Structure formats: C-alpha cells, structure tokens
Amino acid sequence: MYLLVAKQLIIMMLIVVLGFFFSKRNRFGGKETEFLSRLLLYFVNPCLIINAFNLPYDSVKFRQLGVALVISLGVHLVITLVVTICIHSKGVKEKEFDALDKIGIVFTNCGFIGIPLVKGVFGDGGVFFLMGYIAVFNIYLWTYGEYLMSRKIALKKVITNPNVIAVIAGIILFCMPFTLPDIIAKPLSYIADLNTALSMILLGMLFGSFSKTESGISYTRRVIVVSVLRLVVSSCAVLAFLYMMKIVFAGVPDIREMLFVVYIASLCPIGMSVSTFACVFNRNASYTSLIVSVTSVACIITVPLFVRLAELIL
C-alpha cells in the first residue's frame, strides 16, 4: 500500500510543479489564490462530500461512519495532547507563534491533500470513511482552533460552515431510501472530480507566490521543530492510538481500511487553514505559509514511510 501512496503523492506533486510554473509565468498573486481557495473550500469540497454520501442506504456503512467519527475525534484529541505537552515558548515574541503552531500541527491538510490521496488509493469507499474525519476536523477547527486564537468559541461559524452543512446533508441523503437522480448526481460528480487537480494547482500557486525575503532566517529552528512535531511525533502518537482502536473495534467490518484512511488524513502536512486563521486574526501569515510549504514538501517522504510502518503494525 505504501507504494500506492508514494505513487499517488508523486502524481499529485507533478501537478503542484505545473501549477507553480504556471503561477510564476502569469505572475499570479493573492487575488487568484484566494479565489481558488474559496472555490475549493466553499464549492468543490461541499459537492464532493455530498457526492460521497450519494449511496444506497446500508446499515453497516452507517455504523462504520459512526466509528470513523469516534476514531477521528480521538485522533484530534491525541494530537492536541502532543502540542499541549510540546509547545511552550519562553519569550514573549515567540509565544505569539504558539497558537499558530498548535493549529498547524493539529489541523492537517486533510481536504486539499487528504481527499485526493485517499481517493487515489482507496477510491470512493475510502472517501466515504474520510468524511468522518473531515466532519470532526471542521467542528474542532472552529471550536478549539478559534479558542486558541481568540480565547472564545463562535458556534455560529461551526453551524454555518458549508462543509459541516454538506456533511449533515450528506448523512441525511445517505439515510434516505433513494439516491439522487442522474440530472443532479452527474453535475455533483463532475464538480467533485475537480478536487484533486484544483487542490494541487492551488498548492503550486501558493509556493509560487511565497516571498523568501518575508520569512527570515529567524524562523528556521521553529519551522524544524513544528515540522517534526507534525510529521513525525504526531504520526507516532496517532499510530499507537489507532493500534488500540483496532483492538476496540475489531468486530467492525473494513476496520483496517478505515484506520488507514484516518491515519493518512492525520499524516498530511500542515493545513492551509492555519494561514487563513493568521489572516483573520492578524497574525504572521508569512510564517504560516512557510510551515505549510516545508511540511507539504517533506510529506512526500514521511507519508509513505509511516504508511509502511502502519502496514506492519495494523
């Protein structure tokens, strides 16, 4: 399986490279990347989520989705414990980065990288299990993530998030005694298929618009520590947790595939949500773009390695 993951990552990174050169040639900047981000986040992803749930009702799959939700919540809590223990800056200026580091480590790029990666390895069945992770991700992001930045929680942002709405609508659709007619399902499927290419093109554009002079050499040590915590330490902690979940949910059908889907989502690099939060809460957006870029490149090596380790353990 790790060879399939490595192959899929290489394919995705080739699209990133094409997006990078296309962005450089056409001098795309913030407006273009913001438009593409919003298009993916608020239009393509919700369509993909609903499309994943457009299946005939199956009581076994419904139970599996519930298990995926529980396991995904546990994964987020495990990584939260890791950052709570490991991230404690001493200096006043460095402490300003703590919240950004914690958000970056806990919230992976499970949408833009996780969805195409899981779909490439497991197909639509894997994407169905991934919806449990994405549902927990969005709710946890706008509760714990917002609390880190503002010390308050805005439940309205959770309820009105298009991806959360899409998950709820998808679950309701899945429970119905029918599937969507082709005249609706086909457009949803076509839009959902855009996710992989557009996500990787966007990542290439973000690399192309990154300014080296903004980052500064002072970030080096912090970027290394955050990258190791995200890609190595958290990966080990989550794998230990998933091993226990394999024992607890041993009787659930396809539990091994489900665990791998959740694990791959947790192995992804730092999500672009950390850059979004940096902009919204007036924090250092240049630093966040750096840690997103570094972990996105490094994950080409770390993800296949940890998938291989998971094959031996799970």
| CB-CB contact of 100 with 222 (8 Å) | no
Sign of the CA dihedral running 10, 12, 15, 19: negative
Question: If you count them, how many residues does the chain have?
Answer: 314
Determine the residue type at 13: M
pLDDT score for 282 = 76
pLDDT score for 136 = 92
- What's this model's pTM, rounded to 2 decimal places? 0.87
The span from the CA of 269 to the CA of 27, in Å, is 26
pLDDT score for 92 = 60
Phi, psi angles (nearest 5°) of residue 291 = -70, -30
The span from the CA of 17 to the CA of 211, in Å, is 17
Domain extents in the chain: 55-175+218-313
pLDDT score for 287 = 83
pLDDT score for 215 = 46
Q: Which token pair is 7?
A: 């192959």
pLDDT score for 74 = 98
Per-residue pLDDT of the chain (314 residues; tens, 9 = 90+): 778 888 888 888 888 889 888 888 887 777 787 788 788 878 988 898 899 889 899 999 999 999 999 999 999 999 999 999 999 877 666 777 899 999 999 999 898 788 889 988 898 889 899 989 988 998 898 889 888 888 888 788 778 888 889 888 999 999 999 999 999 999 999 998 888 888 788 878 877 766 554 444 467 888 999 999 999 999 999 999 999 999 999 999 999 999 999 999 999 999 877 877 776 777 776 788 788 888 988 999 999 999 999 999 98
pLDDT score for 96 = 73
| 298 alpha carbon, distance to own chain's centre | 15
Q: Is residue 216 left, alpha or beta, with left meaning phi > 0 and alpha meaning psi from -120 to 50?
A: left
CA nearest to 33, candidates 48, 46, 15, 20: 20
Q: Which token pair is 19?
A: 């997006």
